[in-house]
Structure 1
Amino acid sequence: MSDAPLSPEQVLEQLHWRYATKKFDPSKKISDANWKTLEQSLVLSPSSFGLQPWQFFVVRNPEIRQQLLEHSWGQTPVVNASHLVVFAIKKDLNNSDVDRYIARMAEVQQVPIENLAGFSKVVKGFLSNPDFDINHWAAKQVYIALGFFMTCAAMLEIDALPMEGFVPAKYDEVLGLAEKGYQSVVLCPAGYRADDDKYANSPKVRFPTEQIVQYLD
């Protein structure tokens, strides 16, 4: 018998339960305990080198969320979901960001910082490639965190909606991200589906497994 906390059947059941929720019930809020778990799913998300080139802005102020609605193609999940998470990159990552991460690594792993000099050099060399678009790379990292967040939400039966339908520059303006050195990339409202969301019971449209998964033996 497997010692896994969830059976394979349970995992699949939750993944089938999940869908891109189009209509949220504004009266239903994520509990503090569940939100702390979702918060930690963001903290624990993997990234290349472990560098974490991001920041996650949780917009709780309803007045600010109302301002953001007009920059979100009028999509009401921005205001009706329990929580609104703005996934943003740290713009123009540089050597000081690497130094900060190396210092944190030395602290957490309790190793002399000089022992990490070789790793630091590798990461800095990677970021200094003149043909490398650092912000594009960071944006791809953010989507890893988005996937982590959405999967964790599904395990908790919390609805989520990944959104690229917004105007990043306007979000950055309203939230004051540019002066903080960040740039919004993608959104994810999270909460609970409305009883009358017509998409809740629609069957998932996916190609058959054998058409999208190939085994190369």
Structure 2
Amino acid sequence: MDLLHTLTHRHTTKAYDTERKIPAPVVAQLLEALRYSPSSVNSQPWHFFVADNDAGKAQIAKATSSPFAFNASRVMDASHVIVLSARNTLPPEYLQTLSDQEEADGRYANADARAQAHKGRAGFVGLHEQAGDVPVWTQKQTYIAQGFLLLSAALLGVDATPMEGFDAAILSTELELAEKGLSPAVIVALGYHSDADFNARLPKSRLPEKSIFSHI
């Protein structure tokens, strides 16, 4: 599928066809899109909660109570719903896990290369710890993953709805995020739009190129 066509035809879905489910092979590709998303110093500071049944979606939908009730049907009617959460801290043991995985994946030529990579990542994390903005930083990285998910969904012909309209405290309680050292970033519903999705029929609207690009 042509990229420009995909970009101009994807939209934020407002209503889902409850009878259509995303095929398992397509779901697997979407989850891999999340797993392979880039992050600063390969920190991968995220965790994704996937709901593919009514019970799981209902648990997430509890966070769409007033004033976010407009998102409840989008959560419940979608084929799959993913909660993208960000790590609140990046402790030494987690950084060690990253280093071990990189070694297992063959990224280091030798022990010195591993030590240098580990030192560099720990140093960069340390800068954010000193600045006191680790949670903000990890949330930013998690939004990169959301971008990869949305584009991948569009390329695979899957509709999506990114949602910040939810009660973070309720969602954190339902998924026990604080106990896991996580904070919710965004919810993404996935599936196929229904005829009730008015947004699918509207033309795309974006500011003109000259107003958002400056060539220097």
Question: Is the pair's TM-score, using the shorter chain for normalization, greater than 0.5?
Answer: yes
Partner of 1:160: 160
Q: How far has the Cα of 1:113 moved from its partner?
A: 4.3
Partner of 2:182: 182
1:19 aligns with 2:16: no
Partner of 1:101: 98
Q: Deviations over 1:136-184 (max 9, x none)?
A: 1000000000000000001111100111000122111112222222221
User: Is the Cα contact below 8 Å between 1:78 and 1:189 reproduced in 2?
Assistant: yes
Residue 90 of structure 2 aligns to a residue whose secondary structure is coil
Partner of 2:37: 45
Q: 1:66 aligns with which of 44, 58, 77?
A: 58
Partner of 1:115: 113
User: Is the Cα contact below 8 Å between 1:139 and 1:185 reproduced in 2?
Assistant: yes
Q: 1:29 aligns with which of 21, 24, 27?
A: 21
With over 3 angstroms needed to count, the CA separation of the structure-2 counterparts of 1:203 and 1:95, relative to structure 1, is same
Regions of 4+ moved over 3 Å: 110-114
TM-score w.r.t. structure 2 length? Answer: 0.91
Q: How far has the Cα of 1:84 moved from its partner?
A: 0.3
Residue 71 of structure 1 aligns to a residue whose secondary structure is helix
Equivalent residue letter for 1:199: N
Q: Deviations over 1:34-90 (max 9, x none)?
A: 111111100110000111000111023412422432422121111111000000012
Equivalent residue letter for 1:175: L
Partner of 1:169: 169
Between the aligned residues of both structures, percent identity stands at 33
CA distance in 2, matches of 1:208, 1:62: 42
User: Is the Cα contact below 8 Å between 1:160 and 1:191 reproduced in 2?
Assistant: yes
Residue 146 of structure 1 aligns to a residue whose secondary structure is helix
Residue 198 of structure 2 aligns to a residue whose secondary structure is coil
TM-score w.r.t. structure 1 length? Answer: 0.90
CA distance in 2, matches of 1:137, 1:110: 25
Residue 86 of structure 1 aligns to a residue whose secondary structure is strand
* Number of equivalent positions: 208
CA distance in 2, matches of 1:155, 1:64: 26
Equivalent residue letter for 2:28: K
Gaps spanning 5+ residues in structure 1: where?
1-5
CA RMSD of aligned residues (A): 1.5
- Give the structure with the higher percent helix: 2
